[in-house]
Structure 1
Amino acid sequence: MEYNDILKEANIEALEAMKLPKKQDYFEIVIDFKKLPKPDFSVSENIRLKEFAPILKGLELCKNKPCLYFFEITNTSINTKEIIKTYQYLNVENKAALRKSINFDSKYLYVGKSQKNIQHRMKVHFGYKNTTENGLQLLHWAKPLLTEIMLHVYCFDETLGFLLPLYEKKFDNQLKPLIGYL
Structure 2
Amino acid sequence: MYILFLIRDENARRNGHDHDAKLVLRWLPDCSSPSKCRFKVQEILPVGSECEKRRWKRGGYVNDYVHPGDEIGRKNNGQIIPVLNFFASVSYPLRHLLVYQVTLNFTSSTILMEQTKSFVREEALKLKKALENFIESGVRNEHSFEIHCETLRNYLIAPVDTSEQFKDVFDHLKSMNGPCIYWVDIVGDGVTNMQIVDAMRKYNDSSREVGNGGQLPVIYKRIRDSRTLYVGKVNSLIWARILTHLGYHGNGNLQGLQLYHWAKDLGLVVRFNIMEFDGGCMRLLPAIEYEIARQKRPLIGSHSS
Letter in 2 for 1:9: E
Mapped contact 1:76–1:107 kept (Cα < 8 A): no
Mapped to 2, the partners of 1:134 and 1:113 lie a distance apart of 13
* Aligned residue in 2 for 1:33: 149
Unmatched 5+ residue regions in structure 1? none
Structure 2 distance, partners of 1:168, 1:101, is 22
Aligned partners of 2:289 and 2:162: how far apart in 1?
Answer: 30
CA drift of 1:60 comes to: 2.8
Counterpart residue number, 1:23: 138
Alignment match of 2:186 (pick from 46, 69, 73): 73
1:45 partner SS: coil
Give the letter aligned to residue 56 of structure 1.
F
Structure 2 residue aligned with 1:51: 165
Q: Which of 280, 286, 294 lines up with 1:159 in the alignment?
A: 280
Q: Distance in 2 between matches of 1:30 and 1:47?
A: 16
* Contact 1:81/1:104 (<8 A) preserved: no
Match for 1:168: what amino acid?
E
Deviations 1:47-106 (A, max 9, x none): 98442222212313312x111111000113421011001100103353223333544310
Aligned residues: 179
Distance 1:103 1:173 in 2: 15
Within 5 A, what are the aligned runs for 1:11-160? 11-20=124-133, 21-24=136-139, 25-37=141-153, 39-41=154-156, 43-45=157-159, 49-63=163-177, 65-90=178-203, 91-92=206-207, 93-131=213-251, 132-160=253-281
* Distance in 1 of aligned mates of 2:294 and 2:274: 17
- For the pair shown, which has the larger CA radius of gyration, 1 or 2? 2
Q: Which moved more, 1:137-146 or 1:7-16?
A: 7-16
Percent identity, aligned pairs only, is: 25
In structure 2, list runs of 5 or more residues that go unmatched: 1-44, 46-113, 208-212
Instruction: Choose between structure 1 and 2: higher helix proportion.
Output: 1
Between the aligned partners of 1:10 and 1:177, the Cα distance in structure 2 is 30
TM-score normalized by the length of structure 1: 0.87
Contact 1:67-1:155 within 8 A present in 2 as well: yes
SS of aligned partner of 1:62: coil
Return the alpha-carbon distance in structure 2 between the equivalents of residues 19 and 88 of structure 1. 43
Secondary structure of residue in 1 paired with 2:231: strand
Displacement, 1:164?
A: 1.3
Amino acid at match of 1:23: G
Residue 62 of structure 2 corresponds to: none
Note the C-alpha offset of 1:110.
Answer: 0.6
**Distance between the aligned counterparts of 1:159 and 1:19, measured in 2?**
9
Report SS of the residue matched to 2:298.
coil
| TM-score, structure 2 normalization | 0.54
Q: Residue 36 of structure 1 contacts residue 52 of structure 1 at CA under 8 Å; is this kept in 2?
A: no
Alignment of 1:9 with 2:131, yes or no, is: no
Aligned CA-pair RMSD: 2.1
Does the aligned pair in 1 maintain the 2:220–2:300 contact within 8 Å? no
CA contact (8 A) 1:113 1:164 kept: yes
Return the offset for 1:40.
4.4
Structure 1 residues 58 and 33: alpha-carbon distance in aligned structure 2, compared to 1, 3 A threshold? farther
